[in-house]
Amino acid sequence: MKDDIIQEWFWDDDVDESIREAICATTCQDLVDEDYDGAVDGSILWWRDGDDEDALTDDIVDAEAALEPSAPFWIFNLKPGREGAASPVVIQNAAKNAGLTLAKPVSLNNNWNAIRLIPFGAGHQHHIGKQ
């Protein structure tokens, strides 16, 4: 939403700039990085294969700590078959270990999916399309 502060985790040169630009256009704000130390209205975490689920669990916990209550939290991951695509099982287990569950993935474009993380028991009150 307009004026929301969105924290971005694990930007690298392989991210899709059009996705980042769309977020900035929606919020009318630049994304802040993982070193930002204030409260944020949402988080995105770019995740690729190569790290274990314990590392991802720790990263999810760290990213969630800055979120305002009920703020959206998304993991952006490469689609299956793309180089660097992380196993959905790793993401699911890491989210579970962090006390969260996954909503249904959403396709962002030809290469990237987005998966919203929601608290256990949140159920339908945090529908994937709601912000």
Instruction: List the one residue out of 98, 106, 95 whose CA is nearest residue 131.
Output: 106
Across residues 89-93, what is the average pLDDT? 91
pLDDT band at residue 15 using 50, 70 and 90 as cut-offs: very high
Please check whether residue 9 is in contact with residue 34, taking contact to mean a CB–CB distance below 8 angstroms: yes
pTM: 0.86
Amino acid at the residue 75? I
CA 119 to chain CA mean position, Å: 14
What is the pLDDT, as a whole number, of residue 100?
94
Q: What are the chain's domains?
A: 6-121 (3.40.50.150)
